[in-house]
Amino acid sequence: MESKLMKNKNKLKVGLAQISPIWLNKKKTLKKVKSYIKEAANKKCKLIVFGEGLLPGYPFWLSITDGARFESKIQKEIHAHYIQASICIEEGDLDGICSLAKSKRIAIYLGIIERAKNRGGHSLYCSLVYINTKGKIKSVHRKLRPTYEERLTWSPGDGNGLSVHSLKPFSVGGLNCWENWMPLPRAALYAQGENLHVAVWPGSKRNTEDITRYIAKESRSFVISVSSLMHIKDFPENMPHIDAILKASPIVLADGGSCIARPNGEWLLEPQTRKEQLFVETLDFNEVLEERQNFDPSGHYSRPDVTQLIINKKRQSILKVKK
């Protein structure tokens, strides 16, 4: 019979922060994120996850203000505002979050809009940042393929951040939104030993309720989906062209849908909607081992002599400096 110590080693308490941003306000959203990290730590969580692009917010204006209109002064001015509100890791925008992760000994997956220095500092990337319990940024995964209108404001990323990380007994990896529908990036994480998959979303149960259980069944892993919230009241008054945005906006833009599926595909936490709160659940690693008995996609149920996957983890940049 397993000892109590061994059972505790197999457990991981996680927090799903289903919240709205202080939209396009970097300073205030950072403050809100920190408050939820502290709450999760106080509840003994060892991992907290935030939604896609939460810091400083998802580009909701694109689909409601004719975002594809070329040379539109409205779109240019909103985009410029978005760039200035976005996160530059090299300039220390996440230093406070890292310090908090270290002091609270909690790992963090945080969705950000990244203003990347190594790509000139003016284009934006939808990035998923993993910070470990020592406060170190261990990966910055830039979304490989922005979806539909997202391509009007976000740039395509690369494979540099397609990594998994050790967290107690688990190996955790993550993808942004519709990347979770891409078979090969999923397979790249599975092959690195992933058994806790994090999927982050801008918000909506319609996105999370099918794919979360599907990935769990395919990978025989725990799958955490975390979505943000957004209500028409969350748009700030000082936003450029706010009148045009409010005129075309639905009342609810993102209703959440955060959830957790077990390795057998059953719900541990069913999709939660329209609730701004920290959802806390405990994962049992033994469930992963049990489900790998009959199916392991990168182990006994793979045929590397027939099919193999190549991953390019090189960070892409237009500039190579030779000294």
Cα dihedral sign, 42-166-89-14? negative
Q: What is the CATH number of domain 11-291?
A: 3.60.110.10
What the block records as the tokens of 47 is: 């991992």
pLDDT, tens digit (0-9, with 9 covering 90-100), for 40-72? 999 999 999 999 999 999 999 999 999 999 999
What the block records as the tokens of 300 is: 């006994």
pLDDT, tens digit (0-9, with 9 covering 90-100), for 264-273? 999 999 999 9
Q: Helices 205-219 & 183-191, crossing angle to 10 degrees?
A: 50
> Environment class of residue 108 by beta-carbon count within 10 Å: exposed (0-12), middle (13-18) or buried (19+)?
buried
d(CA 304, CA 308): 5
Residue with tokens 């991953």: 311
Cβ atoms 297, 53 nearer than 8 A: no
**pLDDT greater than 90 at residue 6:** no
Residue with tokens 């284009």: 123
**pLDDT greater than 60 at residue 1:** no
Average the pLDDT over 202-229 and give the result. Answer: 97
Cβ atoms 241, 77 nearer than 8 A: yes
For the chain, give every domain's residue range: 11-291
pLDDT at 320: 84
pLDDT, tens digit (0-9, with 9 covering 90-100), for 149-163? 999 999 999 999 999
**Positions marked catalytic:** 52, 143, 177
Q: Please, what is the Cα angle at 207 between 13 and 192, to 5 degrees? A: 55
Residue with tokens 């209500």: 231
Strand, coil or helix: 60: helix
pLDDT at 322: 86
